[in-house]
Amino acid sequence: MKRPRLSALLASLCLSLSAAEPDTTAKAIRALIDEYENSVRANTMKIIEAKTEEEKNKHRATIPSAEPFAKKVLKLVQDHAQDAGSATGVSWLVTQATSFPEGQIALQLLGTTHVAHAEIAEAVKSLEYYPYEIGAPILKAVREKNPNQTEKAAATYALGMQHFRRYEAAADEKLAEAEKSLAMDYFQEISAKYADANIRGFPLADQAGRTMYELQNLSVGSECPEIDGKDVDGAAFKLSDYQGKKVVLIFWGGWCHACHGTIPLVNKLVTEAKEKSLVVLGINTDVPDEARKAYQTYAVNFRNWSDGTTSGPITTTFNLRNFPTLYLLDEKGKILLKNTSLEAIRGKLGM
C-alpha cells in the first residue's frame, strides 16, 4: 500500500513542479523584447547626455531598429504557435512592429491561430485604430471564439471605437445615427458585462463611459457642456460668460510639440477677430509654472483655463485623444465643428 501512495505522491509532485516552470516560449520572446527595449533606452540616454547638437544627431541616427527583433520574435511564435506563451510575441508584434511585414503577419495570426489565446487583450484593443475592414473581422472573431473575459472586453471596446469613428466621419445623417447606435450598444455592453476588465490598470468601463458621454454630449449639434474653472492665477470664469459670441476652444500645452506651430496661428486668429463676435478660449494642460513659461514663450493673447495636466477635470470631461484639439461653438453654445482645424474654422467663419 505504501508504494502506490509514494508513487502517487511523487507523480503529483512532478506535475506541480512542471506547472510551476516558466513558459519557455514566453521567456524567450520576452528576452528578445527586453533586449530591444534596453538598447532603445540606452540610445535615448546617450541623446539626453550628449553635450552638443551634433552629438545628439549622431545618436538619433543610430536608434536601434525593431526589425531584426521582429523577425526573431515571429520565428519563435510560428515555431511554437500552440504554446500559450507565443501570445506574448503576437501581442508585441501587433502593437510595436506594425510597420514591418512581421507585424502584418502577426495581425493575421491574431484572428486565426491565436484568436482564443489569453494575453492578447492589449493587441486586440489596438485594433480600434485599424481600418474597419481589417480590424472588425478580427474583433468579431475574438468576441465569438475567445473564452477569456479581458480579451472579449477588449474586442467589444475596440468595436465600439470603430463605430464611434465611423459615426464621426459619416457624411450621411442616417448612416451616422446607425453607427452611433452600434457604438453605444458596444459601450453599454462593456459596462454591463465587463465592468472589472482592465488593460494595464485602466478599466475599460471607465473609458467606455467617457466615450458614451462624448457621444451624447459632445457631438456636432449638441450644446457644449459648461466649462467652469480657473486661470493660472486662480481667477474663475465660465464658458457661459461668453454666450452671444462664437467661441473657439483649443486644448493645448507647452509640452505638446504639435501645439508649437498652432499657437502662433491661433494668436493671429485672435488679432484678426477683434472686430468680429468671436472669442478664443484655451484649456491649458501644463502644470502652472510651465503654463506661465508657455504663455510667455508663445506670446499667448487669449484667455486660458488652467487644467494642470492632460487628465485634468476639463480635459477628462471632453475625453481628449489628441493635442491640440479645436472646437467651434455658435453664439448659443452649440458645437459647430469638433476635432477640427484652423482652416476649417476660418472657412466656417468666412475669414
What's the pLDDT score for residue 5? Answer: 54
Q: Name all domains of the chain by residue range, CATH numbers in brackets.
A: 24-217 (no CATH), 228-349 (3.40.30.10)
Instruction: Name beta bridge partners: 73.
Output: none
**Per-10-residue mean pLDDT, the chain, length 351:** 46 41 83 96 92 90 94 96 93 95 96 95 96 97 97 98 95 93 97 94 94 95 96 96 96 96 96 87 97 96 96 94 96 95 93 83
> What is the grid cell recorded at 87?
501570445
CA distance 191 to 195: 5
Instruction: Say if CB 135 and CB 183 are below 8 A apart.
Output: no
CA distances, 90 to each of 43, 97, 114, 122 (Å): 25, 10, 8, 10
CA distance 86 to 112: 13
Burial 327-343 (b: 16+ CB within 10 A, else e): bbbeeebebbbbebebe
CA distance 176 to 272: 35
Which residues does 232 contact at the CB level (< 8 Å), separation at least 6?
284, 288, 291, 292, 295, 304, 306
CA distance 223 to 330: 9
CA distances, 61 to each of 50, 57, 58, 64, 66 (Å): 13, 6, 5, 9, 14
What's the pLDDT score for residue 276? Answer: 78
CA distance 168 to 322: 15
CA distances, 11 to each of 15, 16, 19, 22, 317 (Å): 6, 9, 12, 19, 58
Instruction: Say if CB 135 and CB 169 are below 8 A apart.
Output: no
Q: Which single residue is written with the C-alpha cell 527586453?
A: 34
Ranges of H-type helices in the chain = 2-20, 24-49, 53-60, 67-79, 86-96, 101-110, 121-126, 132-145, 149-169, 173-193, 204-217, 257-272, 288-297, 313-317, 342-349
What's the pLDDT score for residue 171? Answer: 87
What's the pLDDT score for residue 14? Answer: 42
